[in-house]
Amino acid sequence: MPDATPGRRSKPLAQALWSLLAIAITLVFLFPLYWAVSTALRNPADTFTVAGLGIPWIDFRPTLDNFRTELSTPEGLKALRTSIVVSVSAVILALLLGMPAAYALARFRFLRWKNSDITIWFLSQRVLPPVATLLPFYIIFRSFDLLDTPLALILVNATFILPFVVVILRQSFLDLPVELEEAALVDGATHFGAFTKVALPLVAPAAAATGLIIFGFVWNEFLFASSLGITETKTMPAHMAGAVDTRGVQFWFMATRALIAMVPPVLLALFAQRYIVRGLTLGAVKG
């Protein structure tokens, strides 16, 4: 890996200082998550007493009660279930639609419009303010009796994450040597066969990583979840929003709910971080 300041050998002291800086900055970014965990584990009564310090080794009496309470309510569990269903389904749907499109843009030449233009068109869908489509979606789903169903959220979310699938996986397909597919074609396979039997398996890790990234985005989606979901269909973020209480400063529940909402995508990111980084570059970094 090349050094940022090419050629220069860093003195051990400078190196140590840089390391310290990196660690310090990382800790700053970690702090809110640490705070969430520490508040969620804290007894409600302690919220204000140690609040100023927030250092657990002094006066640390962790309790899992808050988590127990939150996860034991039927609404909390339902929200968890709904989030999982919506996220997984939207990801699958987006992959089903997006992978063939990515393959097409990587392998085939389009004549009417340039491939790059089509790719940019997909990416530019991200520019659309959700608020512009919120009311029409609300009305359309209502006429089809789909309001407050997971299906509505799946459809909407699949639309939002489709651009990522196309753009990221296009790059992954481009990275594959085309000779393998050409060999399959010579052997008599159709393009579809080459796609499914040769290209797809090779791209599987990248597809999985992309799936994890967009899973996170769907899981975290809030605007549509809270507007289209009313009683039956509440995802974790929408469920979280109801935690604001008029009966007191229930910070411990805020932190607990926030954590529970955040944990799945964050954990997934942890597991697949190596692959995720490639995906996040969205095809702008080659090789």
Partner 1 sequence: MANTRTIAAAALIGLAAASPSLAQDTKHVKWLDDGTVELTMDPEYGGVIKTTREELGALFGPGQKPFEGQEVTVLSLDSGPKGGISGPLYAFRPIWEELSGAKLNIALTPISELYTKTFLDLRNGTGEYDAMIVGAFFYGDLIAGNYILPVDDWYNSGDYPKWSYDAMPASLRNIYTWGGVGYGVLSDADGQVLYYRRDLLTNPEHQAAFKGEYGYDLPVPPTTLQQLRDIAKYFNGKDFDANDPEPDSGAVLHLKVREQGLYHFTTLATSFAMTPGPELTKTTNVYWFDPEDMTPLINSPGHVKALDFLKELAQYGPPAQVSWSLGEAWDYFLRGKAVFNFSYGDVSPLAQDETRSKIKGKVGAAILPASDTYWDMNTKAFVTTQEVRKVGNVTGGSWHGVISSLGDAPEASYSFLSLMAIKPASKWLATYGWDGVDPGYKYQFLEPLGEAKLEDYTNAGWDATDVKEYLQAYYDNFNAPTLLPYLRITGTQEYFDVLDSNLSAAMSGSKTSQQALDDTAAAWEQITDRLGRDKQLAAYQQAIGWKQ
Partner 2 sequence: MRWTNRVRWVFLAPAIAWVLVFTLFPLVYSLYASLHNVTNETIVERAVVPMLDATGKPVLKTDGTPRTKTEIKRETVTKWEWVGLRNFGRVFRDPQVAEAVRVTAIFVVVAVSLEMLLGLLLAFLFNRNLPMRSLLRTIMILPIFATPVAAGYLFFTIFYEEGGPLGWTGIPFLSHPGWALASIIIVDVWQWTPFCFLVFLAALQSIPEDAIEAARLDTDSSVAVWLHVVMPFLQPVIIIVLLLRLAEALKVFDVVASLTVGGPGNATQSVSYLAFRTGLRFFDVGYASALAYLLLAVMMVIVTFFFKRMRTVYA
Contacting partner 1 within 134-163 (CB under 8 A)? 138-139, 142, 147-148
Pairwise CA distance, residues 247 & 91, whole Å: 38
- Taking CB under 8 A as the binding criterion, the range among 26-34, 56-64, 144-152, 203-211 that sits at the site for partner 2 is 26-34
Name the binder of 42 from partner 1, partner 2, none, CB < 5-8 A by kind.
none
Closest CA to 207 of 164, 177, 153: 164
Stated length of the chain: 287
Helix (H) / strand (E) containing 88: helix 74-107
Per CB under 8 A, the list member of 4, 111, 186, 244 interacting with partner 1 is 244
Is residue 281 within the footprint of partner 2 (CB under 8 A)? yes
Pairwise CA distance, residues 31 & 102, whole Å: 38
Is residue 159 within the footprint of partner 2 (CB under 8 A)? yes
In the region spanning residues 239 to 278, those forming contacts with partner 2, defined by CB under 8 A, are: 240-241, 243-244, 249, 251, 254-255, 257-259, 261-262, 265-266, 268-270, 273, 276-278
Six-digit token pair at 24? 């310090």
The Cβ of residue 245 has, within 10 Å, a number of other Cβ atoms equal to 10
Closest CA to 195 of 164, 173, 210: 173
Minimum separation from the CB atom of position 54 to partner 1 (A): 17
Residue 143 CB-density burial (10 A; 0-12 exposed, 13-18 middle, 19+ buried): exposed
Six-digit token pair at 12? 């051990």
In the region spanning residues 49 to 88, those forming contacts with partner 2, defined by CB under 8 A, are: 51-54
In the region spanning residues 162 to 221, those forming contacts with partner 2, defined by CB under 8 A, are: 162, 166, 178, 190-192, 195, 216, 219-220
Name the binder of 154 from partner 1, partner 2, none, CB < 5-8 A by kind.
none
Minimum separation from the CB atom of position 1 to partner 1 (A): 46
Is residue 72 within the footprint of partner 1 (CB under 8 A)? no
Six-digit token pair at 254? 């805020």
Is residue 230 within the footprint of partner 2 (CB under 8 A)? no
